[in-house]
Amino acid sequence: MKSKKQNLTKSVETAILLGNGINLLTEGTTWAGLLNHIAQAKKVVVEINNNKTFPMIFEEIVFRSKGDFYKNLRSIKEHIANQYLNTIPNNFHHEVMKLNVKDYLTTNYDYSLEKVFDSYFSISSRTNKEWKYSLFRKNTFNQNKNIWHIHGEINNGINRKSRYSAESIMIGNEHYGDYFRKIHEYIKPPGGNVMDGLNREPESWIQKFFTHDIHIIGFSLDFSETHLWWLLNLRARMIESKNITIFNKIYFYYPSFEQEQYRPKIQLLEAIHVNCIMIPIDENNGVNRYIDYWNNILNHQLNHLNA
């Protein structure tokens, strides 16, 4: 029997997905740098290179650390939280938050985006009950802005009463695996279908991959981000099935001076209906080339979103 055609709403809103690139414009730390710092703090020798995924490198550090595994896991996450506790927003955090956008998804643990607002407050006022995972984790401000920490945050926020404040930080392979399972169960509930998942309550950032135009900026979308690749792949299968009409667009931005580095990802992303936009930048500009990249995106690619 031919399945009935279904349509998602045609009223498409916009969301921004931000990675660590925005922090690196000032004093941020790369993920490789963070893992190296953790290894040094735990006094273990771990080789960090592109042949290992970051989640597995993290597991290696924990397993090689002396003492109780779970105590080490906790202390390392608390160490990460302390590293990001006093981050301050740079000019680009301010410019991004000026956009006429309600929903910001970020893989960053810190609160640089929140601190843009004068109304920034202790995240201990959070009301949702997620201790470890981050399907519904968001901070909402009076300016009608939602900031979704989809990989956790340095204080999980339930009145500081969790087993430890940095429990939600997702960095290890075990956390990634369990999170993937929860995402799968949410968007494809047992006994239901994707349309049921897209209409579920409470609202999750997951739904926005199917209902919002998403601009992915400063995020390398490493292949270890299996949960995000799976969502993009599921969306592409829905488009190809013709049973559900999807109106949203997803855009992935990358600088021209890293074109060769991104080529394998671009090939895959274009195949699964993601619009890949190369930003032409003079690579001779040295450290300023990343600033030029962000200026181009904000002032040209996203200028239609200026409030």
- In order along its 307 residues, the chain shows pLDDT tens digits of 445 566 665 668 999 999 999 999 987 788 899 999 999 999 999 999 889 999 999 999 999 999 999 999 999 999 999 888 888 999 999 999 999 999 999 999 999 999 898 766 544 444 557 888 999 998 888 668 999 999 999 886 444 455 677 899 999 999 999 999 999 999 999 888 888 888 888 899 999 999 999 999 999 999 999 999 999 999 999 999 877 889 999 999 999 999 999 999 999 999 999 999 999 998 887 778 999 999 999 999 999 998 6
On the 0-12 / 13-18 / 19+ scale of CB atoms within 10 A, 267 is exposed
Mark out the alpha helices in the chain (DSSP H runs): 31-41, 54-64, 69-84, 91-97, 173-187, 194-198, 208-211, 226-241, 259-271, 288-296
Tokens representing residue 259 in the block: 């074109």
* Nearest of 25, 16, 51 to residue 224 by alpha carbon: 51
Q: Which amino acid is at 295?
A: N
Q: What is the bridge-based pairing of β-strands 145-149 and 138-141?
A: antiparallel
What are the b/e assignments for 16-33, b being 16+ CB within 10 Å? Answer: bbbbbbbbebeebbebee
Q: pTM of the prediction?
A: 0.93
Q: Which amino acid is at 126?
A: R
- The Cα 96–Cα 99 span in angstroms is 6
Tokens representing residue 93 in the block: 């955090």
Q: For 221, left (φ over 0), alpha (ψ -120 to 50), or beta?
A: left
